[in-house]
Chains A and B, each alone.
Chain A
Amino acid sequence: MKLPAPNALVGGTLIGFLGIVAAISSVWTPFDPLKLSFRAKLAAPSAMHWLGTDEFGRDVLSRLMAGAATSVWISLLTVALAVSLGTVIGLFSGYVRGWVDRTIMAFNDALLAFPGILLALGLLAVVGANKYGIILALGIAYAPSVARIVRGTVLSLREREFISASRVMGNSEGFTMARHILPNCIAPLTVLATSMFGWVLLAESSLSFLGLGVPPPAPTWGNMLAGSRPYIGQAVWLGIFPGLAISLTLLGINLLGDALRDKLDPRMRGAR
């Protein structure tokens, strides 16, 4: 029995911790994350409020814990939506080629050429500004990059010997796709998906900053970070803690992603 790789160990610990915090927050937080307190506005970290309070006197630690669940949930669903949508489109398009590919890619590029903010604003206005709106908007906004990368991989793999070999051996196109092409997409996709996880956390924050109507009063790490900006001089903890939470989560996800890829990629076994 070997020890797990260091990236898996560190990443797993970080993400495990995040999961535990998110789980705990659903039953218990030190204070009510929505409870205002006018006597404790912008209080510095103390024995009572470990991470201080915000501009409405709400406990930052409690909000951070409650925000963990919301932020992670939004990010996970968005990434899942974008990856599944993008993979299907990319695989199909890259494999069939010809005019179907060209048409699909024209649509794909059109979608890609939309800056995410406009797409998000437009879709949020249509579906309503709530977390499902964000998931849908960002999911659709990110799917084209997935499609493009998957298609790119498919195109470059088509030229390789083992794909031709599979065809020569009389395997069906579908089998070739599932058996030989999809596994080879997993590595670049894992990297993209983990990056995307970070993008979503940040995009939500940037949308709040630009005032595009995403933030609910309930806490997410993104809107906590965006809302902390005016107080950077007086209450630096307001931004540091959600910022750190985002950074550590991303670090964990990325390390875990790398480890996962090493395990999933068949060619990796015994390579080192």
Chain B
Amino acid sequence: MLRFALTRILMSVPTLLIVSVSVFGLIRLIPGDPASLMLGDLATPASIADLQARLGLDQSLPVQFGIWFGNLLKGDLGQSISSQQAVLPLILSRFWISAQIVLVAVLLASLVAVPAGVIAAWKQDSSLDLSLVAVATLLLSIPTFWLGLLLLLFFGLKLEWLPVVGYVSIAENPVAGILYLIMPIMTLFLHEIGVILRMARASTLEVLRLDYITHARAKGLTESAVLWNHAFKNAFGPTWTLIGLVLGNLLGGIAVVETVFTIPGLGRLLVDSIFARDYPVIQGCMLFVAFTYVLVNLVIDLCYPIFDPRVSAQ
């Protein structure tokens, strides 16, 4: 187990290497540069050149990469071009905000959607199954920015239960902090129910068709025992993998929800810095998201054998 974990961590090193090189290359393929963005439409070539030199953008790409990578090995992700803050603390403070939203939303969604998916599969083609699938599909097909706005209009404006704009951190004021997080979490929660329910249903259907379920039934076990002891436990494996994928993707894709609810999270930081061509922040964010992703999937894989005894940890 420990050896497996260590191997996996070592294996993630090339992944992160590939990420850092390709991010560095990719963002510089995108036209536009931070210096001219900062100076706007009045920039003279001289003032752009001055600023580029000051930002170290006048050097050749390999040199720039070398400097950045050298600092990275020392644990220094550099400084933001637009806000001149150190990148790592910036990312960590934003990450914490995004993480609490994503984790709570996915946890709640799994608690609802996995049992619902299993039940839908169990009662396949019944009206219950059809309506669960219909609800899941509907939830899945509403874009989060649209859903978020509907919630905002309803709970914020119409009922005036929840604050409409702004953000207060939980550390500062726990009650207000939670109030500000309810709607973003609800938005993601509703969306992810759709994703996870369908996957759980599909995995359970797979398992229900396998021979050992038939055996179990033939052995005279009650339906609920078959469902719980065999079907549910086995269906959980693939669903578990999917939850890992969902978690990883959400950290990158949460930008939309954060924009709607004015949450200063990691997703918005990334999108903002893409628009501002703030290279050090983009690089830092991407590397960080990749790192988190690898970590989440490692944990998922380490847990896999617990749910699916057929796959042994190698």
A interface residues (Cβ-Cβ under 8 A, vs B)? 5-7, 102-103, 105-107, 109-110, 112-119, 121-122, 125-126, 145, 148-149, 152, 155-156, 159, 187-188, 191, 195, 198, 201-202, 205-206, 209-211, 225-226, 229, 232-233, 239, 243, 246-247, 250-251, 254-255, 258, 265, 267-268, 271
* B263 touches A (CB below 8 Å): no
* B105 touches A (CB below 8 Å): no
Report whether B289 and A113 are in contact in the complex, using a CB–CB cutoff of 8 Å. Answer: yes
Quick one: given A109-B297, A122-B26, are A195 and B142 in contact (CB under 8 Å)? no
Selected contact of A148 from candidates B12, B245, B253, B311, CB within 8 Å: B245
Q: How close is A174's CB to chain B, nearest CB, in angstroms?
A: 24
- B-side interface mostly: helix
29 contacts between A and B (CB under 8 A): A7-B125, A109-B297, A114-B252, A114-B286, A114-B290, A115-B249, A117-B255, A118-B26, A118-B270, A118-B282, A122-B27, A125-B31, A145-B245, A148-B241, A156-B237, A156-B310, A188-B202, A191-B198, A195-B140, A195-B198, A202-B141, A209-B256, A210-B255, A229-B146, A243-B141, A247-B141, A251-B138, A267-B209, A271-B209
Report whether A106 and B14 are in contact in the complex, using a CB–CB cutoff of 8 Å. Answer: yes
* B133 touches A (CB below 8 Å): yes
Report whether B274 and A118 are in contact in the complex, using a CB–CB cutoff of 8 Å. Answer: yes
B11 neighbours in A (Cβ, 8 Å): 102, 105-106
B interface residues (Cβ-Cβ under 8 A, vs A)? 11-12, 14-16, 18-19, 22-23, 26-27, 29-31, 125, 130, 133-134, 137-138, 140-146, 149, 153, 195, 198-199, 202-203, 206, 209-210, 237-238, 241, 245, 248-249, 251-253, 255-256, 259, 267, 270-271, 274-275, 282, 286, 289-290, 293-294, 297, 308, 310-311
Complex CA gap A115/B199 in Å reads 21
Selected contact of A187 from candidates B14, B30, B202, B290, CB within 8 Å: B202
Report whether A198 and B256 are in contact in the complex, using a CB–CB cutoff of 8 Å. Answer: no
B297 neighbours in A (Cβ, 8 Å): 109
